[in-house]
Structure 1
């Protein structure tokens, strides 16, 4: 009893000491004096104190308000008092027409622009019914916004790079009224957002962040208390992480006293001391039993790219080089085997941060952030995270859209200001010039692109107009491509209707299109902010204009009008292979259908590798890039990252690493040396994905299950691959078929490319796996990795090579116009070799 009381007393004392430490840390703030600092309590006739900050009365100089009616509203609702910053939600300015606030900018650069919204009823105005748009001169911040929760306030924060002498924030009601309770416009350090970040899919650098508009979605202090604006030099709020943790049982909160800042690294402006002095750590750290990741899950808007900033500070190690761990974001590896000693120049308790960009192609409505043990040998499992920021990037979506630059105006504001004699005259002149330019563009080819240029010679040698507003161009190799008018594609996609979007990728959005003759097409429209758009556009046109194969998605045409980059493909009715395996409501495929899809994809890849003088390496083989037509015929798609293979006297191509995590060839990643065998590795991962029907990277799973390739190979090498089969097809696969399939996967996933089979050998094996599944009786084993070395007794008297060559000839291989032998049905070959009635 006394021992229990002693422990309780000691815990109380410890808690008190911790709270004192945290409190002392909270009041330590860096010094920063913003050049611009406008805090406006909208709707209030007097200034308002909120913590240590003073919000000015609405309309106070030098902020100017332009509105048709001065409606300053107030409420005495008791419920407001329970909210943070409650004083700001007791008043609001109401707008009944287009209105604006104008802020003079003393120093151009990055600013926080913050809004406070809380709907209440004032006289005849019910603010809960308000629907409106908020924008600056350059950025559309909120489109047809309505308060999602009528009983709670909403705080929105944007980080904008302001390049003007004034900032005009416009409010435009959609249904009669708009409102705002408070506004902040405050300068922040320009280097708060670095220009570069690491993308996770594809693996490459993302540049241009320093000028990008961002919206703060989450700002979290891991393992520590809530941080209020009074305790952050930049007046930010950091919430606690408990509500976002999926598996709190495997975590613990840790804290440290001193934080050491190094020159050129993170500062107290990057995040306050309290963020770096607290952390969430794996609870099983420093033991051999920590096989789980700790994972936080956040609700986000799909269709946007996100900047995720990880804040780290090693407050748990007693010496350098003790802490190693990995970070994951949205199912991808963000950073492997992190060593904070290296990142902090060999100093403990030194803050650092890592910026990672997740593209709109990979962002779903649930964003998972995970920290897990390192994969290095002889390293104890551990992992920490001190803080996290999630920011939406203004690429994609309708609620946060960037304009084309400083010249892109808010037309409602401009037209209102420009009405008058001379201004109206200028607008008329501009419209006339634009109309004339449009007609000129429609009469001639764009000079921006010569997409079908091969070996320095343009293939736009002939052209004729078609009845659908397209130009038919003849290429050097005799194939044809259509150059579509932009207006035709607008019509086909219902003016690029967001409801017609069937996919989003690194290049841009893909829309379903219906031409006037009812032909369905897929229209991929380039995003001008895409980091890979220009190169992908050129690569796909040049590649697909000279390659034709029934297992490659066909390019129908393109559009380069009005500075657009649009590619038009054949429409694949059944969508992606991935969507039939998991993550959607599409019907599942049985084992035979899955094998036939894999065989079709292998044929397409085999043709890429062998169908021209130099191999073409896809570089982004994954289940999302294998599409299915209405008959479930598989076709390989998305050739934007493709690369021409090595010369005959070379073994590889040295190139920057690109691809998708989980599918990426580890040898290519380590050595940056690309070969056809990199595609073989990725295809091996697809084969496992087809068998198991689960994501290739899933940080929410126990550590040993996160990576599908690693996990699947452990079961394969134990001879127990049947244990991880998708339950929907479990029991339908013949043992011999599964065994040969597992051997094929294992060969594809060999550590070194020289140990992997060619895609032709993989194709041969998959055809054999299908034959074993269909076989009416047991057949003799075939070491199919080395082609046929032991023939069934029924065909022992037939020469192997003669049998194969004759069968291929009978199958029509010699009549293929593009000499594509990979498309000959191997099933017919095997039917001659292993069935008693054959030859």
Structure 2
């Protein structure tokens, strides 16, 4: 029987986590009240070492579901975020779970919500109201009021009653970890911005200190036991260590910065440094040994900061005014929470915009602060990066899922790279970076041909230490390539980040770039069939980036020098240094500064800064013209009207003289129907307005048809000579059948 359509229902997804939080050491914390509930599930679910029991299997004396009408639903899809999201319980009216509590005191509830779009009924647009009678947490986990920097008499009051959402929680200089409160601390590699003059430090003994264990409610001992500092701190240079976090603009953010001086040896060896938030002074001349009353003692500062843009920057720098202190700086951890006091949700405009950044409060004072905590269901949601009320604003639970996925950034050290190379291995592979082994240069740096210890030949790209572009591209390339896998994309073998050297290692491409075959001097010219096969492979790689990857990716620098060829002339799209993740949901574009290569940049993107997948299509159209003409996209040695190949080609086409631009090698050796189809496709790709350009799926279909026409003409020519036909005709027929079958499949799936 079909379910009746209901205007509103409550959707409890997955887990209800309820346990007592004690003031004692969390390292040995074993809650008396500990409920792990898999709502709507028919079986136990194990996730992150914890087992969640179906809600219907609990004894009635321990858990009661009070609801006149509810429904268990499951998803047929395998959720990649967590197996917990594959089931849910739907409520069609006000309902509740009632738990038996053995120990009075502070309890923490974690709620997970997620839509099940393939369920019946569809839960994507379910609305949610969650209330709680008694929710409490440790008194000192978060302050109730915070002093404001630029207004000493002002306070940010009633923080405990604000709605907050976790943006980032970072362990600086250490590995990712989850603490006993269920909070996940990421490695800082993704966010760290100035690694060249930095080093990581650790002192695991600190994690066992009584003072550290006492602070474990604020941060795990291992967070305080690891840090980043300067390698060499100079009085003459302005040095800073910076972490950049993506945030939503026009909101207030709670920023907690964790410190623990694990590098100074005695009270006579003190560090003094400055702390900045969004490039404004947060703390001047911070001396940790004085504030924390000793070395290796945890300490934290809390701030409220308004974000006018989409980046929150937290930095520490050397204090050059400190005459008697050690020139260095340190940071151990950062937490950033988005704030709203609007009950409509976290995506409403914050009412706290007039408040500037705050000065720190002392944890010592915080421990003695009166217990003004109120109802704290909201803080519980910070641990899961979940704000259920945001769903009301954005039309349902589906938005939260995609937004959560977007926030889930992986740090450099978390990427599943096949190998992390040492600098010594890189030096040995390149004969100490011998100039004779250089096979390419770019904005990132030089590319060397290298041989690893096992005999594998690789391409080693070494960043220019003076280039900021190199640092940005290093992080971007690792982040993107580590999550991609396609036969027409280059494979990242590994990386090296040691002694200020940023190095990426790829599989070696024996036949160089497509550009070197089109207008270089070291290779025999490519046949039309070979050119089509290469364009076809590159198009498959681009289509995968646009539609097949977990998140759509815009390459932003498609050109013939970034299409590499292996020993069998199989093309692989390379160089993802400036690639960008595509727009989400109903967004049509990504607004970003213009980057790319002259001669290939989408003119509409150049004018508006609106980057779309069609920007790659335009660049690919330029590649097609290069393939036909055998000329570079930009040649400043030619007259002005001929410098830009695409513009020159369009001009010649209007005059009816395009045939004069064709690669002389192809004349008389190409099926004209095949060539005209590719040329017609190129004109469509080069349309001025992006809405007039085809998607990559269409481009792929047209290239398949062009290849079919070329192969068919070969068979026709071969049939004119029966002796040749008898020896090779069947081979061409098989090849044509393969292409036709593949083309039909592509058209069914894409066109």
Shorter-chain TM-score bucket reads: 0.3 to 0.5
For normalisation by structure 1, the TM-score amounts to 0.37
TM-score scaled by length of structure 2: 0.42
